[in-house]
Each structure stands twice: as structure tokens, then as C-alpha cells.
Amino acid sequence: MADGTAIAGPDGRLRCPWGLSAEDYVAYHDEEWGRAVRGDDALFERLCLEAFQSGLSWITILRRREGFRKAFADFRIAEVARFGEADRERLLADAGIIRNRAKIDATLANAKLLATWAPGDLDTLIWNHAPSGDRPAPRTLADVPAVTPESTALSKALKKEGLRFVGPTTAYALMQACGLVNDHLQDCAMR
């Protein structure tokens, strides 16, 4: 793992090293990360979770994902958009999520804004920023960028629409998680 190339798991399959760094990562790496996610609510969930991850490790978010889903009405935009001050206070006291005031406020504001969009608009906006053409498969973790021109453009587009906590790094993590890009390493069995 020191060189950042794919490594064999207990089942002998090669995986991205981070996908074996904690037991909770294996299923996420194998079954979810890098696979296409479509639909406004599904993308809203991922956008929110990536924003909450900012400054933290993804494992922290992954281990609290069910708590986030329960706290935020399974990330159904229309429901979260109706959250009021009592819900905000409930979220700030909920130990099952990350209790960061700015991130909670951004999630609520983003839901209120997205509830005014036509169905499919968030999906369209995000997927319109998927890179065109084939990119070379990363051979090592060092080959995986944190930001790309496409993620910078997506971040700008989301911010222009009024969304918060959507910087270029968060946008790229969203692109990776939702299958807009395939950053599984070249030798990873999930590629």
C-alpha cells in the first residue's frame, strides 16, 4: 500500500488501498463509489454528505450515514425544505450526525432552494459537468486529483445558482462518488 497501487483484499481481489483501510469501506468501495447516481434526492444526499465531510475523514461520515438519513428525512428535498427552526435545533443536538452549524444551515438552505427547481434540474446540472471522453485510469493514488477543471466549473455553476458548501474539492468528491468520473485505480477489480 505504500506506493498507492491497488492491493489484494482478504478475498484476493485487487482494490484501491483506501477501500481496504477500514472494514466499513469495503462495501462502499465495491458497491457504491464510482457508480452512477441519478435523481435529485439521491444527488442531494451525496452533495450534503460530501459537504459534511469537508475537513473530516469520509469514514466519519460513512459511519454516521444512517443517522444523517434519519435526521434529514432520507434527504428528500421537499421534506427537508419544510424544516423550520425546531428542526434546526433538533439537528444541532443530534449526536448521530456532525453537528456543525454552518453545514446544517447550508443543507437546509440548499434544500429550500432546490425545492423551487423543476424536477430533474439538479440531476441535469450535475451530470452536464461530467468530463467528456476517456481519461487515463489512475495507476496510483497520487494520480487521483483533488480538483479538476470540471469540478471547478461544477462548483461555480452550483454557487451561481445559490447553493452553499459546494467548493471545487467537494464538487470533485461528489463527481467521484456519483460516477461522473471513474477514479478506481487501473488494477482495481471495481474499475
Could you list the active site residues? 28, 50, 58
Q: Grid coordinates standing for 12?
A: 484476493
Question: Which residue's entry shows cell 425545492?
Answer: 115
10 Å Cβ neighbour count for 160? 9
Question: Which residue's entry shows cell 492491493?
Answer: 7
Q: Grid coordinates standing for 101?
A: 452549524
Axis crossing angle, helix 168-177 with helix 149-160, rounded to the nearest 10: 110
Q: Grid coordinates standing for 169?
A: 474539492
168 vs 14, 85, 96, 156, 171, CA distance in Å?
A: 29, 30, 27, 8, 5
